[in-house]
């Protein structure tokens, strides 16, 4: 545990990151604004057997703030990345554990994930537009399993297409 | 051979929780070549709803995310709020949180094992497992007045207290059921028919478990130790002794064994927590306004690590609140577990990750 803290301190120092540990030192918060640095850090973290717990996003004036939550043997590294162009490189090629949470970013905030190996929709139906956090949809339109007349007519229409 | 796909779901695969499996069979027509899953049948947009409620109202919303982890959601949410408001809780509340959590874990594990017995058509075993669970359901009813949603936690403490009678009834339920759990363990360790049926099914190797970042009993059955109670202790877990259960085979049998042995560990934890229960308040006496800030908190839910992120801006509603449930990480692992298993076993393997879809899709 202690050696991990030393190592984390070394990394943040060599990369000149703005970081601070929480008082009980089980989580570390860092802020960056450079996407290349994100990939650089992700590569280092991968060699340390980190695991992606979650990626959160929220809107901030002129852009989005992404928070990457990595677990390193019980220590949570929270990496904040500020973006202004709604796009971010994927870390899924490095961390399989980032797959779903990255896809959810594009679904809810419309953030493009560059180089994602499987950029399909996660939960929402293709018919809904991206970036839906603050939109209202009735439950029957938001869920992809619309067990209703509408679904049935969609099935019938597709059948028509298949049969030419 | 034509490329017929086998479709399972979305409804009634193992549980009433909906997932749509598209399975491509091998050329023998009986085993699985690859599997694709379509999700999103119970996505309700709860992360958006919580932004429109205040911090106390969200206790109720978080409890409604899922029934089986319904204690861990408000619990982890409270931890995040308490971190931001820099509250330090009365000791007694920390121990009572452990009590609620471990009783919930025992009942949850027994439910999953009961479903496993159901899926291999062993009705006698299923009855025994669910009967054992019933004692813990009754216990919940006696303590919290509810059999699923306990409403045990609140910001700054807990909403229930234990008197001598209740403590005695918990201990009685533990003593009564310990030998039953040991008998189940003996069955899963030695019964040749049971081992032949579920051993070697749905294997997830140690390397894959690490790569995919799976959590909870699924990870521990493959030998990956990421039990949050040990790795990043919270509540009173750092003062209590218990062992992390690890297995190496990573199959359906190992996952069942992890859950069974964990029930014994939960019983150990309950005894310790009840014996060491400090006196004092169960909740902070005054309500606090929640300042601006952000926090991350996590707990070990019955299915694995549950993570909450909360950002506040000084108003009494969250600015952003996000959570990630254990099934979210374990689900993708099904694509690794299923190939080359029999199509008949899809439901069995699916059940072995103890899926909680309503949690995952929110």
- pLDDT tens track for B281-337: 888 887 778 888 888 899 999 988 999 999 988 888 888 888 988 888 888 888 888
CB contact under 8 A, A123 and B329: no
Q: What is the pLDDT of residue B280?
A: 86
Give which of B45, B77, B214, B360 is closest to A107, Cα–Cα: B45
Interface residue of A49, A50, A54 to substitute, partner B, most B CBs within 10 Å = A54
Which of B236-243's residues contact partners 24+ apart within 8 Å by CB, and which partners? B236/B91, B236/B94, B236/B95, B236/B97, B236/B98, B236/B273, B237/B98, B239/B276, B240/B98, B240/B269, B240/B272, B240/B273, B240/B276, B241/B268, B241/B272, B242/B266, B242/B268, B242/B269
Interface residue of B7, B21, B40 to substitute, partner A, most A CBs within 10 Å = B40
CB contact under 8 A, A134 and B18: no
Q: How far apart are CA B79 and CA B98, in angstroms?
A: 13
8-state DSSP, B31: B
Tell me the two tokens of residue A35: 């996407």
Kindly state the average pLDDT of the residues B23-52: 80
How does pLDDT run across A48-65, given as a tens digit for each residue?
888 888 888 888 888 888
Q: Can you give the pTM of this predicted structure?
A: 0.84
- CA closest to A80 among chain B residues: B294
Residues of A (54-113) whose Cβ lies below 8 Å from B? 54, 56, 58, 67, 69, 71, 73-76, 78, 95-97, 99-101, 108
CA distances from A73 to A5, A15, B210 (A): 11, 22, 12
**Quick check: B5 pLDDT over 70?**
yes
Helix extents (H) in B11-90:
46-49, 57-63, 72-84
Q: What is the pLDDT of residue A51?
A: 87
Rounded to two decimals, the ipTM of the complex is 0.78
How does pLDDT run across B87-117, given as a tens digit for each residue?
888 999 999 999 999 999 999 999 999 999 9
**Quick check: B82 pLDDT over 70?**
yes
């Amino acid at each position: 545990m202690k050696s991990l803290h030393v190592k984390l301190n070394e990394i943040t120092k060599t990369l000149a990151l703005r970081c601070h540990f929480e008082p009980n030192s089980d989580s570390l918060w860092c802020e960056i604004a450079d996407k290349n640095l994100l990939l650089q850090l992700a590569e280092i973290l991968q060699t340390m057997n980190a695991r992606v717990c979650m990626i959160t996003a929220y809107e901030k004036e002129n852009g989005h703030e992404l928070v990457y939550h990595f677990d390193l043997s019980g220590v949570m590294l929270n990496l904040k990345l500020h973006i202004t162009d709604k796009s971010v490189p994927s870390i899924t090629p490095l961390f399989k554990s980032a797959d779903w949470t990255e896809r959810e970013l594009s679904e809810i905030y419309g953030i493009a994930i560059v180089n994602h190996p499987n950029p399909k929709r996660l939960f929402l139906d293709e018919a809904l537009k991206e970036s839906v956090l603050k939109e209202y949809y009735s439950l029957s339109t938001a869920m992809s399993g619309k067990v209703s007349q509408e679904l049935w007519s969609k099935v019938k229409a597709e059948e028509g297409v298949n049969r030419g | 051979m034509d490329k017929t796909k086998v479709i399972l779901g979305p409804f009634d695969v193992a549980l009433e929780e909906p997932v749509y499996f598209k399975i491509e069979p091998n050329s023998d027509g009986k085993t699985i070549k690859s599997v694709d899953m379509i999700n999103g049948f119970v996505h309700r947009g709860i992360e958006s709803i919580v932004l429109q409620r205040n911090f106390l109202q969200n206790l109720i919303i978080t409890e409604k995310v899922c029934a089986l982890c319904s204690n861990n959601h408000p619990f982890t949410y409270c931890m995040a709020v308490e971190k931001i408001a820099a509250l330090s809780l009365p000791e007694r509340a920390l121990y009572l949180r452990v009590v609620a959590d471990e009783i919930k874990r025992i009942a949850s594990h027994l439910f999953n094992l009961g479903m496993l017995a159901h899926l291999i058509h062993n009705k006698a075993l299923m009855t025994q497992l669910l009967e054992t669970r019933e004692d813990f359901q009754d216990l919940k009813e006696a303590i919290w007045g509810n059999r699923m949603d306990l409403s045990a936690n609140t910001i700054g403490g807990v909403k229930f207290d234990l008197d001598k009678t209740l403590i005695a009834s918990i201990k009685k339920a533990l003593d009564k059921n310990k030998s039953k759990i040991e008998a189940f363990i003996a069955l899963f360790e030695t019964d040749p028919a049971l081992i032949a049926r579920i051993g070697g099914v749905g294997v997830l190797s140690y390397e894959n478990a690490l790569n995919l970042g799976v959590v909870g009993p699924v990870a521990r059955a493959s030998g990956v130790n990421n039990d949050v109670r040990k790795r990043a202790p919270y509540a009173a877990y750092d003062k209590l002794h218990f062992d992390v259960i690890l297995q190496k085979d990573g199959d359906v049998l190992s996952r069942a064994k992890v859950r069974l042995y964990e029930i014994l560990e939960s019983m150990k934890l309950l005894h310790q927590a009840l014996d060491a229960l400090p006196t004092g308040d169960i909740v902070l006496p005054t309500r606090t306004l929640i300042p601006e800030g952000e926090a991350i908190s996590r707990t070990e839910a019955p299915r694995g690590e549950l993570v909450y992120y909360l950002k506040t801006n000084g108003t009494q509603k969250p600015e952003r609140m996000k959570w990630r449930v254990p099934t979210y990480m374990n689900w993708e692992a099904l694509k690794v577990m299923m190939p080359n298993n029999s199509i008949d076993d899809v439901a069995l393997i699916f059940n072995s990750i103890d899926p909680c879809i309503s949690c995952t899709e929110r």
